[in-house]
């Protein structure tokens, strides 16, 4: 599978942080703009108990899961607390005003 269209840049909302369910891929993808201004795409469910991460807090640097407070680095998808967790990070590209994600490649596997 190549890059798949996920959303428009404007769809990230005021937090610069939103999730989109892609029925064809069977994935909820979290798209965000991190504190460096880079757009990132991650698997959208918490690795602890599959809670939707979009329900959590995002401060530009980290995502904090609303269920039990696990914290994930918003630039890498790697765990801050606990450090052993991670969410898959996917390549992203922008064409015009649209965001595309390649779900075949995990950047942080
Ligand atoms: S489901 Fe996310 S911390 Fe438990």
The tens-digit pLDDT sequence of the chain (109 residues) is 699 999 999 999 999 999 999 998 899 999 999 999 999 999 999 999 999 999 999 999 999 999 999 999 999 999 999 999 999 999 999 999 999 999 999 998 8
Taking the centre of ligand 1 as the mean of its atom positions, its distance from the CA of residue 77, in whole angstroms, is 14
Instruction: Give pLDDT, residue 109.
Output: 84
Burial label, 66 (beta-carbon count in 10 A; 0-12, 13-18, 19+): middle
Q: What is the domain count for the chain?
A: 1
Q: Does a structural domain hold residue 107?
A: no
- Residue whose entry in the numeric block shows the structure tokens 């892609």: 22
Tell me which residue has its CA closest to atom 3 in ligand 1: 68
Domain assignment of residue 20, given as a range: 4-101
**Which ranges of the chain would DSSP assign to H, the alpha helix?**
none
The CATH number assigned to the domain holding 46 equals 2.102.10.10
Tell me which residue has its CA closest to atom 1 in ligand 1: 49
Ligand 1 lined by 46 (C-beta under 6 Å): yes
């Amino acid at each position: 599978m190549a890059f798949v269209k996920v959303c428009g840049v404007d769809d990230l909302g005021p937090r610069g942080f939103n999730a989109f369910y892609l029925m064809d891929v069977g994935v909820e993808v979290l798209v965000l703009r991190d504190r460096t201004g880079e757009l990132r795409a991650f698997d959208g469910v918490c690795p602890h108990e599959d809670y939707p991460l979009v329900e959590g807090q995002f401060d530009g640097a980290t995502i904090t899961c609303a269920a039990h407070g696990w914290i994930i680095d918003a630039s890498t998808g790697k765990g801050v607390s606990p450090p052993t967790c991670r969410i898959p990070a996917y390549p992203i590209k922008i064409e015009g005003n649209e965001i595309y994600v390649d779900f075949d490649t995990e950047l942080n596997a």
